[in-house]
Structure 1
Amino acid sequence: MTILVTGATGNVGRLVVDELIGTGEQIRALTVSPERAALPPDVEVVKGHMGKPAAVREALAGVDRVYLAPSGETINDFLAMTAEAGVRRVVALSGSGGSEDKPSYFYSQIEDAFVGKDFDWTFLRPGAFMANTLDWAPAIRTEGVVRAPHGDAPTAAIDLLDIATVAAKVLLEDGHVGRKYELSGPEPLTQFEQVRQIGEAIGREVKFEELTREQALALWSEAMGVETADFMIGVLGDAIDNPPPVVPEMDELLGRAGRTFAQWAAAHADEFR
């Protein structure tokens, strides 16, 4: 069986490749930067990206199953070429669920693109990533502080490795077609608690400086734009009264316990020092 991993240089895609190595399947990787990905020699590499049809067609030739990194702008063209290549099984990375069983933010574009198409699909819907807290690293290293709004907002953040483990399992096994898997970390933690655990991992106190909505909007808009910043602030605010649930099936999907934030922080301590 040949499995195509798109976005193989990405944070999740690269880990999916690692999880699939040694399974006995042929792994093919679509990536814009094979050098950066540093893929093992037994992985077949196709250089290109989702918006480059020639590379996509080359990557899809002879493929049985696909891990699809999220790309709302190119999803319809990619699925058309995937169907043309005769691929039926697609495991797509989406985002955590919202009202009316719709994924949050732009991920609805990914899932809606499958409507009316003849694919055996599975959607993976993780919530917040533990790795998102690496955005705090520069201020922690230089000032020993995290500045953010809604410090008491809880998240059940998930390690990227746990997402990749589930993705590989779903790609390799039967019984997952038509499923929408919500994914989470093993515990809900507020931002206050995450900052405290980072401090414990690096061996010194890290302070949390609460920002007002206006302060956060001004700060975050520089990096992500006003619309995205406003959305993210709203998500944190909503989480105070509607905390994201811990998914009880995660251990079964993983075949092990999910990684805690304290474990993740200890593994990434050098990035915060």
Structure 2
Amino acid sequence: MRFLVTGATGSVGRRVVDHLLARGADDVVALTVDPERAALPAGVRVVRGTVTRPAVLQEALRGVDRLYLAPSPATAERVVTAARHAGVGRVVDLSGEPESWWGAVTAAVEACGLPWTHLWPGDFTENALLWAPQVRERCTVREPWPDAVSAPVALDDVAEVAAAALLGEGHEGRALSLTGPQVLTRRDLAAALGRALGRDVPFVRVDRDEAVEALAAAMGEDAAWYVDTVLAGFAEGGAVTTSVVQEVTGRPATTFEEWARRNAGAFRR
């Protein structure tokens, strides 16, 4: 069985490749814009291309049975149409609820006529890396809403769910809401990061403009969007957890504490 992983050097796609191989897949094709620098494992066939340019996908799709679709709302419809014409039998996509920015991917996949599985993550654990510059410089986290909540899920967990859904049966027609194992406030996350670093990382409540300034070192001009949409959404509450990661992969979802210990070096000077 042949698998095509699009966005194969991206934050999720690269991990999907690894998990497919770890679970026994022996015919993996990786789509990337820069094959020479991809450094993908031996045995993976690397094809130059991107989902943002569906017209160049013909070679990558040849003989493919199952497709991991990286999110590209503007071109998703053309990519899945090309996949259907190429004889692909199943799509596992990284997308989101219909009303979200990634909803266009969900709609395109459902309309294409192929069996599908949606992966709908909420907050990514790795978004905590946006704090790294201010933690290194000031050893604080500065945001407006200390009690805003989410249930962050690790990118590696998302990728392993994708690989398991591609290889296994029984997930067709399902939208898998992916979360970590705990609902945590922003203050909780800062405290957990401090424990991983062995020192206090206080949460300092600041206004919207100060938060944008604090995040700009990591996000540039996207900092305002992040504060006004993502963080403001967390402040509205309503976060819940699901057991999907464990149900699909057979292991518990990664806790934020575990992730923080593994990635503490990113927050040190």
TM-score (norm 1): 0.90
Paired residue for 2:155, among 157, 160, 165?
160
- Give the match's secondary structure for 2:131: helix
Deviations 1:123-148 (A, max 9, x none): 01111011000010111111111111
User: Which residue does the alignment assign to 1:13?
Assistant: 13
Determine the structure 1 residue equivalent to 2:51.
50
What is aligned with 2:30?
Answer: 29
Q: Which residue of 2 aligns with 1:189?
A: 184
Are residues 1:39 and 2:28 paired? no
- Evaluate the alpha carbon distance shift between residue 141 and residue 118 of structure 1 in structure 2; reply closer, same or farther with a 3 A threshold: same
Point out where structure 2 has 5 or more consecutive residues left out of the alignment.
Answer: none
Q: CA deviation at 1:115?
A: 3.8
Matched ranges for 1:94-133 at <5 A: 94-95=95-96, 97=97, 102=98, 105-133=100-128
What secondary structure sits across from 1:17 in the alignment?
helix
Identity %: 41
* Cα distance, 1:115–1:25 mapped onto 2, change above 3 Å: same
Structure 2 residue aligned with 1:147: 142
In the TM superposition, structure 1's runs of 4+ consecutive aligned residues that sit over 6 Å from their partners are none
Alpha carbons of structure 1 residues 172 and 115: separation in structure 2 relative to 1, 3 Å: closer
Following superposition, the deviation at residue 116 of structure 1 comes to 3.2
The two structures have a TM-score, normalised by structure 2, of 0.92
Q: Which residue of 2 aligns with 1:87?
A: 88
* C-alpha distance in 2 between matches for 1:218 and 1:132: 17
Any stretches of 5+ residues in structure 1 without a counterpart? none
Greater mean alpha carbon deviation, residues 21-30 or residues 254-263:
21-30
Deviations 1:83-125 (A, max 9, x none): 2211130000113x4xxxx35x311111111343211010011
Structure 2 matches for 1:166-245, cutoff 5 A? 166-216=161-211, 222-224=220-222, 226-227=224-225, 229-239=227-237, 242=238, 244-245=239-240
- 1:196/1:226 CA distance change after superposition, 3 Å: closer
Structure 1 residue 57: deviation in Å?
1.1
The question of whether the paired residues in 2 share the 8 Å contact of 1:201 and 1:262 is answered with yes
Change (3 A) 1:224 1:16: same
Cα separation, partners in 2 of 1:112 and 1:234, compared to 1, 3 Å: same
Residues 148, 185 of structure 2: 8 Å contact kept: yes
- How far, CA to CA, are the matches of 2:235 and 2:105 in structure 1? 26
Q: CA RMSD in A?
A: 1.9
